[in-house]
Amino acid sequence: MKNPLRKQILITGGAGFIGSHLCERLLADGHDVICLDNFFTGAKDNIVHLLDNPHFELLRHDITFPLYIEVDQIFNLACPASPIHYQFDPVQTTKTSVHGAINMLGLAKRVKARIFQASTSEVYGDPQVHPQPESYCGHVNPIGPRSCYDEGKRCAETLFFDYHRQHQLEIKVARIFNTYGPRMHPNDGRVVSNFVVQALLGKPITIYGDGSQTRSFCYVDDLVEGFVRLMNSPADLTGPVNLGNPGEFTIRELAEKVVAMTGSKSELIFQPLPMDDPKQRRPDIGLAQQALGWKPQIALDEGLQKTIAYFADLLERGIIRSF
């Protein structure tokens, strides 16, 4: 007889950086987890330690194609999330966000599952409001090199809310701000992984612009806790809900912190700022605090220590050099 507390949960993009941590968390919470990934940016190494768990299943699939399975909940995380990866094939990136959302929403509608969309702070674009509340509609370039991701995620949110209004689907939408931690791709071009890898290799730390632009960095365990709380919140809390750490640092401050924590002799070098790169980014997490009782618990120094240790292990095993 099936345990009514044990849910069948699908995680698209489950072999990715955030998805693999979510797989672990939901297994620890006593659920059956179906990890779906096409392995464009996900890696089997991220979930290989879970393959022997009888409550874990790995499915190679691309969500731009329909899927027919029976599940109770869906976490839709599938989409390249770093500029290097989502600009590699921008048309496919948009398809993943839009066609993928349609397919997953269709699945949720058929099986009457609750569905969670991992949206992004990039829906705010280069914001003119600071910090960014969920009510802010954003300042986004619809035709720039980042638009495949930014506008794809914005359209996915539109689809989620239209399915909610038209079909009474139970939806949850989270807007994720910069997240970091173990299992980040060593060559994904994101600022934390870039700086840590460059520092460990003793290479120059590459800063785009003058380093005065700001970001807020949320450790992955804190983010996953927010995911779980939002998914299991009352049905009338649809979101969008900002999930991120409101601590704000300049890019130069982050670089100097990484150099100090790694004991590196790397120097800082400066390159032109990419087009449409946001000048500032910090979440207003008032809604998450009030509705979910959630706020980040792991300070940047503590999270960086764990992240540096992860990349140092990859370096020791010779894995980083292969990228």
Read off the tokens for 123: 């829906």
Measure Cα distances from 308 to 80, 158, 260 in Å.
Answer: 23, 37, 12
Strands 248-250 and 214-216: antiparallel
The residue count of the chain comes to 323
SS (H, E, C) 166-216: HHCCCEEEEEECCEECCCCCCCCCCHHHHHHHHHHHCCCEEEECCCCCEEE
Q: Give bridge partners of residue 283 from the DSSP assignment.
A: 132
Helix or strand run (H / E) with residue 20:
helix 17-28
b or e along 208-224 (b: 16 or more beta carbons within 10 Å of the residue's beta carbon)?
A: eeebebbbbbbbbbbbb
Backbone angles phi, psi at 8, to 5 degrees: -90, 110
Residues 6 or more apart whose Cβ sits within 8 Å of residue 12? 19, 36, 37, 63, 74, 75, 76, 77, 78, 100, 104
Q: How many CB atoms lie within 10 A of CB 315?
A: 16
Q: Residue type for 196, please?
A: V
Q: Is 219 considered catalytic here?
A: no
In which region does residue 140 sit, left (phi positive, over 0), alpha (psi from -120 to 50) or beta (all else)? beta
Residue 76: closest CA among 196, 156, 193, 151? 156
| Catalytic residue chosen out of the listed positions 149, 163, 180, 219 | 149
Residues annotated as part of the active site: 149
